[in-house]
Amino acid sequence: LSFTGKGFATGKICLGEIEVVKITKFDKIWSCTPSRGKAEGVTFYKPVGIPDGFFSLGHYCQLSNKQLRGYILVAKGVPKDTTSADHSQDSELDSPALEKPLNYSLVWSKDSRNDECGYIWLPNPPKGYKPMGFVVTTEPDEPDPEEVRCVRADLTESCEADEIIFDSNSFSSRDEFYIWNTRPCSRGMLCKGVPIGTFFCSRDKSSEDELSDMACLKNLDSSLLAMPNLDQIHALIKHYGPTLYFHPDEAYLPSSVSWFFKNGALLYEQGRDTGLAVDSKGSNLPGGGWNDGEFWLDLPDDDDGRDYVRSGN
């Protein structure tokens, strides 16, 4: 972890051959509002304030009645001689990390006498590249290839549809169209998928969980360059951490996890009536898996022990 902290709080994160910046400022493109029923409309946005050298990977969509708090990642390629990624060098791949789409396919459009017309386009990538999101316009003309970039396939991870945010049945049951948020298929501390903030859309509500038409980014940089080091963590806690003042007669005080373990916390397992004392370092706690309800922690059995642990130290 010798490199940890050097890239912390710079606003940029290196994923290997790609560097990304989070954009939270947008220009509105188009709102799609139901003409009947109680369904909510959605609004499409284009990221603005993109730093020089970075490129949009797609547009953003959210419910129209929600405060705009979303984000989009924008990206630029990093020269291979400066990347710290443990990425295979026998890569296909003298090809650049990012490329313009060849052209676009119109996925869906809506004409309205009351609203602007809207058109949603899927970038068609060069061979060996993947689109990261869709492009939205208010004109029937195909978007400029400069609008977004596609990412080389070996720098991407598969993604899936997450929460559905739009259903065109609000307009017409004869013109089905759906929009979802997206997320990496594999998620967790050891997984490499990076969500971009773009949306997925389809005329088929039963689209497969894994989306073949688009992808998310893959973190191939193991250096943790953007993570804070210990001194930076302490500085953050000192500056932003709250100071709590307790009443002199306060009965319940905070305690560390190790104190809780040392003073009688018990590990219970489904099907067993008695609990097992927990080692102070938690070494006998079950590892891996997920929260399936098979194990849980509880207070000591006796009343005095329960009251003591409940009160903290």
Q: What is the pLDDT of residue 55?
A: 98
**Rg, C-alpha atoms of the chain:** 25
Q: What is the pLDDT of residue 142?
A: 97
pTM above 0.85, yes or no: no
Q: Is the per-residue pLDDT at 179 higher than 90?
A: yes
Give the three-state DSSP class for 273.
coil
Q: How confident is the model at residue 312 (pLDDT cuts 50, 70, 90)?
A: confident
Q: What is the pLDDT of residue 84?
A: 46
pLDDT, greater one: 111 or 48? 48
Q: What is the pLDDT of residue 278?
A: 92
- What residues contact 274, with CB distance under 8 A and at least 6 apart? none
Q: What is the pLDDT of residue 85?
A: 46
User: Could you give the dihedral angle defined by the CA atoms of residues 99, 103, 107 and 109, in that order, rounded to the nearest 10 degrees?
Assistant: 120
- What residues contact 125, with CB distance under 8 A and at least 6 apart? 99, 101, 102, 131, 150
Tokens of 24: 């939270």
Q: Is the per-residue pLDDT at 35 higher than 90?
A: no
pLDDT, greater one: 164 or 173? 164
The CA–CA distances, whole Å, from 228 to 1, 16, 131, 224, 225 equal 10, 18, 32, 9, 8
Q: How confident is the model at residue 1 (pLDDT cuts 50, 70, 90)?
A: very low
Tell me: the pLDDT tens digits for 81-130? 544 444 445 555 589 999 999 999 999 998 765 557 899 999 999 999 99
Q: To the nearest whole number, what is the mean pLDDT of the chain?
A: 87
Q: How confident is the model at residue 208 (pLDDT cuts 50, 70, 90)?
A: low
Domain boundaries, the chain: 12-218, 244-311
- The DSSP element (H or E) to which 135 belongs, if any, is strand 135-137
CB hemisphere CA count around 313 (13 angstroms):
10
Q: What is the pLDDT of residue 282?
A: 87
The CA–CA distances, whole Å, from 307 to 248, 255, 280, 310, 311 equal 18, 14, 19, 5, 6
Tell me: the pLDDT tens digits for 215-264? 999 999 988 788 898 999 999 999 998 888 888 888 888 888 999 999 99
Q: What is the pLDDT of residue 252?
A: 83
> If you average pLDDT over each of 49-63, 166-180, 193-207, which comes out highest?
49-63
Tokens of 157: 């991870």
Q: What is the pLDDT of residue 7?
A: 84
